[in-house]
Amino acid sequence: MSIDALERLIQALKTLPGVGPKSAQRLCFHLLQNERHKAKELGESLLDALNNVRHCQKCNNFTSENLCVLCRASGRDESKLCVVETPVDLNRVEQSLAFDGFYYVLMGRLSPLDGLSVRDLNAEHFMERALDGKVKEIILAMNFTNEGELTAHYLQSLCKEKGLSVTRIARGVPVGGELEFVDSGTLAQAIRDRRFY
């Protein structure tokens, strides 16, 4: 039996973070009843993004080119590589204005409880970037959650094996803190106060 179009849309909306069954129904009815032209735009832009957005060859962030805008930028410090979990975290660090090096976006983290293991991180791609010969310091800006700490510890051991210098942003970020929700001033201080890890 095929699932009808309405139910299919509700199911799809339910997969979005923070959207439960009730919100999914509300969104679905809202789009179909009041915002049909916006719903069309939403559908088309989603398809367009799926077809054209890929991962930057250098930093793994989303981009529609081979290299993202940041990796193509001149005048940044090639000796520093800041590793973050998500594109949102990259934007937070960038907004803090405390960092002028380059980034690597993991697009995830180790999370044994969710079944996310070392294999899901694609650490080889990260190590390739880290070992480009120009990077002198790896700055681990993982969140201060259990998963973030676990990921930082894992990357630190990989980098140490290769003789790379590793620092971790300081604990101005509260325990359990996610960068996304920390104010720019606190995050800037945490980057300045980073320490060898």
Binding region for Zn ion (CB under 5 A):
56, 58-59, 68, 71
Supply the minimum distance, in Å, between the C-beta of residue 104 and Zn ion: 8
Nearer to Zn ion (CB atom), residue 10 or residue 59? 59
Supply the minimum distance, in Å, between the C-beta of residue 177 and Zn ion: 25
Nearer to Zn ion (CB atom), residue 23 or residue 66? 66
Nearer to Zn ion (CB atom), residue 59 or residue 164? 59
Supply the minimum distance, in Å, between the C-beta of residue 47 and Zn ion: 24
26 burial via Cβ count (<10 Å: 0-12, 13-18, 19+): middle
The rounded distance, in Å, linking the Cα atoms of 150 and 89 is: 17
Sequence-separated (6 or more) residues with CB below 8 Å from residue 31: 9, 38, 39, 42
Q: What Cα–Cα distance (Å) separates residue 104 from each residue in 4, 36, 61, 170, 185?
A: 42, 38, 7, 19, 22
The rounded distance, in Å, linking the Cα atoms of 71 and 104 is: 10
Helix (H) or strand (E) holding 44: helix 36-52
The rounded distance, in Å, linking the Cα atoms of 174 and 171 is: 6
Nearer to Zn ion (CB atom), residue 105 or residue 188? 105
The rounded distance, in Å, linking the Cα atoms of 38 and 46 is: 12
Nearer to Zn ion (CB atom), residue 71 or residue 158? 71
Supply the minimum distance, in Å, between the C-beta of residue 38 and Zn ion: 31
Supply the minimum distance, in Å, between the C-beta of residue 56 and Zn ion: 3
